[in-house]
């Protein structure tokens, strides 16, 4: 059954589809879309949502195979013909509504080990609209009997309008191979660039936790407690994905290679019963 939640505060309003991966179907400032936006009842796939949660990992796990604690776990290839697993399992599953009103919603999902991910976990997601800002919180608790790798993040698609300009500070950028997997890290100050001709699908680390996307109509400030940012767009796309994430793409399989540590990759290892929480806020201002 289709379920929809509608939140609003001042000129800002958001639609949520708990049954479609707990996604944010759309976010609008008045009638102007902030994210790629579809009214909740009209959304048919999470792939067209404005934003969706990344849990228990972000981006790709190479060749859909998780190598952990001496065991190789085959995962499901979940991105068409691509050989990798991508973006975790939260976006593929229905979430339960625990609480909801006109400005707040709390969702949860309980994962049992399966072909998509071999470790049990509980996760919750909160949405709060306040004045000109939407605040999101994503938490996870390891419910398995062993230490498990964990990552969190979001995949928001911001509307790319004529003259859209993206600015943020960072420390490095992970270069990508033709297989869409990271190869090596190079120093990078971040971006301060117009988006019209921008062609990227890269993870930046050392991110300072704030990014600004502006055009002739809106100034959008993205903030997070996470320290990595994936930027995905190209000239043919009418969106810019600006994704706060906790770890480098394919971090779990890069661990241990050429001295790569969990801290350097941003990979969190949770003991049984341990938890992790991420936050993201999107503030909208008229220009």
Q: In 10 A of CB 33, how many CB atoms? A: 18
- Domain CATH code at residue 99: 2.70.98.10
pLDDT above 70 for 1: no
What is the spatial distance between Cα 89 and Cα 123, in angstroms, rounded to a whole number? 11
What is the spatial distance between Cα 146 and Cα 57, in angstroms, rounded to a whole number? 17
What is the spatial distance between Cα 86 and Cα 201, in angstroms, rounded to a whole number? 14
For residues 48 and 26, is the Cβ–Cβ distance under 8 A? no
pLDDT digits (tens, 9 = 90+) for 250-263: 999 999 888 899 99
Q: What's the confidence (pLDDT) of residue 80? A: 85
pLDDT digits (tens, 9 = 90+) for 64-81: 999 999 999 999 999 988
What average pLDDT does range 6-17 have in this prediction? 97
For residues 134 and 125, is the Cβ–Cβ distance under 8 A? no
Tell which residue, 186, 280, 194, 230, has the closest CA to residue 60. 230
What is the spatial distance between Cα 158 and Cα 128, in angstroms, rounded to a whole number? 19
What average pLDDT does range 126-153 have in this prediction? 97
Tell which residue, 148, 157, 159, has the closest CA to residue 123. 148
Q: Exposed e or buried b for every residue in 253-264, given b needs 16+ CB within 10 A?
A: bbbeeeeeeeee
**Whole-structure pTM value:** 0.97
pLDDT above 60 for 62: yes
Q: Beta strand pairing status for 172-176 and 71-74? A: unpaired
Q: Domains in the chain: how many in total?
A: 1
What average pLDDT does range 111-120 have in this prediction? 98
pLDDT above 80 for 145: yes
What average pLDDT does range 239-249 have in this prediction? 98
What average pLDDT does range 233-242 have in this prediction? 98
Q: What's the confidence (pLDDT) of residue 258? A: 83
Q: What's the confidence (pLDDT) of residue 142? A: 98
pLDDT band at 2 (very low <50, low <70, confident <90, very high): low
Q: What's the confidence (pLDDT) of residue 259? A: 81
Which residue range forms the structural domain that includes residue 107? 5-286
- As a whole number, the mean pLDDT across the chain is 96
pLDDT digits (tens, 9 = 90+) for 171-206: 999 999 999 999 999 999 999 999 999 999 999 999
């Amino acid at each position: 059954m289709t379920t929809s939640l509608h939140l609003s505060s001042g000129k800002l309003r958001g639609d949520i589809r708990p049954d479609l991966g707990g996604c944010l179907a759309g976010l609008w400032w008045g009638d102007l879309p902030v994210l790629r936006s579809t009214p909740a009842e009209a959304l048919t796939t999470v792939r067209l949502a404005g934003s969706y949660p990344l849990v228990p990992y972000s981006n790709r796990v190479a060749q859909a195979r998780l190598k952990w604690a001496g065991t190789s776990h085959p995962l499901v290839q979940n991105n068409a013909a691509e050989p990798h697993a991508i973006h975790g399992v939260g976006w593929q599953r229905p979430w339960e509504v625990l609480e909801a009103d006109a400005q707040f919603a709390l969702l949860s999902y309980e994962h049992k080990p399966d072909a998509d991910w071999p470790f049990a976990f509980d996760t919750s997601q909160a949405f709060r609209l306040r004045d000109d800002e939407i605040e999101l919180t994503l938490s996870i608790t390891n419910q398995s009997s062993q230490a498990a790798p964990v990552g969190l993040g979001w995949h928001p698609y911001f509307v790319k309008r004529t003259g859209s300009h993206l600015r943020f500070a960072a420390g490095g950028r992970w270069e990508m191979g033709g297989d869409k997997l990271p190869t090596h890290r190079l120093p990078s100050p971040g971006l301060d660039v117009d988006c019209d001709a921008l062609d990227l699908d890269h993870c930046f680390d050392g991110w300072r936790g704030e990014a600004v996307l502006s055009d002739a109509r809106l100034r959008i400030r993205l903030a997070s407690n996470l320290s990595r940012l994936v930027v995905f767009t190209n000239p043919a796309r009418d969106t810019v994905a600006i994704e706060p994430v906790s770890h480098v793409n394919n971090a779990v399989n890069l661990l241990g290679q050429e001295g790569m540590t969990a801290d350097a990759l941003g990979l969190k290892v949770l003991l049984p019963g341990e938890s992790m929480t991420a936050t993201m806020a999107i503030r909208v201002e008229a220009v």
